Amino acid sequence: MRPIKYMLAGLFVLVMLSLTSYAQEIPQAIVFEDPNMTGSHTHLFASVPDLTESDNFWNDKISSIVVISGTWTFFADPVGAGDQPNPSITLGPGVYPDVTKEGMDDNSISQVRLGSES
């Protein structure tokens, strides 16, 4: 009976490792409405060129970020909107409980760009 138990446990570990490896290949960031990863949140798997669209809840509401994988750039304004320099931060995998500590004003993000997209 024990060999079957160990075989199943080993199979479970192999499946979990393969899923973890697969998940790391998919770019993903999670943005939160409030600091310290609290409040409403959403998962991002691709660039969001313009958060200012009227039906987008997330325009100027991002206060904290978790980057699971990929490199992401967060912009204060959609690129091409106006002649002023566009503040941005570029983040890799990690936990960012307060965007102000990364150099971005709180509740100012209006565009998100995945690093590998043009």
Give CA–CA dist 41/30, Å, rounded: 7
104 assigned to some structural domain? yes
Can you list the residues of the chain whose pLDDT is less than 50? 6, 118
Asked if the structure places residue 5 within a domain, the reply is no
DSSP-based three-state secondary structure for 101:
helix
Give residue 35's domain range: 26-114
In a domain, 68, yes or no: yes
Cβ atoms of 64 and 97 within 8 Å: the answer is: yes
Alpha-carbon torsion, ordered 42, 15, 93, 62, to 10 deg: 10
Q: What is the pLDDT of residues 9-37, one digit of tens each?
A: 555 555 555 555 555 578 999 999 999 99
Q: In this structure, what CATH number is given to the domain that contains residue 100?
A: 2.60.20.10
Cα 48 from Cα 8, distance rounded (Å): 42
In a domain, 74, yes or no: yes
The reported pTM is 0.74
Residue 10 counted as domain residue? no
Please check whether residue 17 lies inside any domain of the structure.
no
Domain total in the chain: 1
Establish if 33 belongs to a structural domain: yes
